[in-house]
């Protein structure tokens, strides 16, 4: 018998590769990309606060 908790590496992956942006940000259950917004909106997700100000 093991002491403590066993390794939790066998869990399911939450994010997979996105078809639109190619990043590993597409949530498998929500069916939405966290980076580009694919699956929720037809326009690319972007915010001005992400970009660095001059």
Reported as a single tens digit per residue, the pLDDT across 2-54 is: 677 777 667 788 999 999 999 999 999 999 999 999 999 999 999 999 888 77
Q: Which residues of 2-32 are buried (b: 16+ CB within 10 A; e: fewer)?
A: eeeeeeeeeeeeebeebeebeeebbeeeeeb
Domains, the chain, ordered by start: 13-46 (2.20.25.30)
pLDDT confidence of residue 29: 95
Give residue 9's pLDDT. 65
Q: What is the pLDDT of residue 33?
A: 97
Give the pLDDT score at 4.
72
In this predicted structure, what is the pLDDT of residue 11?
77
């Amino acid at each position: 018998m093991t002491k403590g908790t066993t390794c939790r590496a066998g869990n399911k992956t939450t994010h997979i590769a996105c078809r639109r942006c190619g990043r590993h940000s597409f949530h498998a259950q929500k069916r939405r990309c966290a980076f580009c917004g694919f699956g929720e909106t037809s326009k690319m997700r972007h915010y001005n606060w992400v970009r660095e100000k001059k």
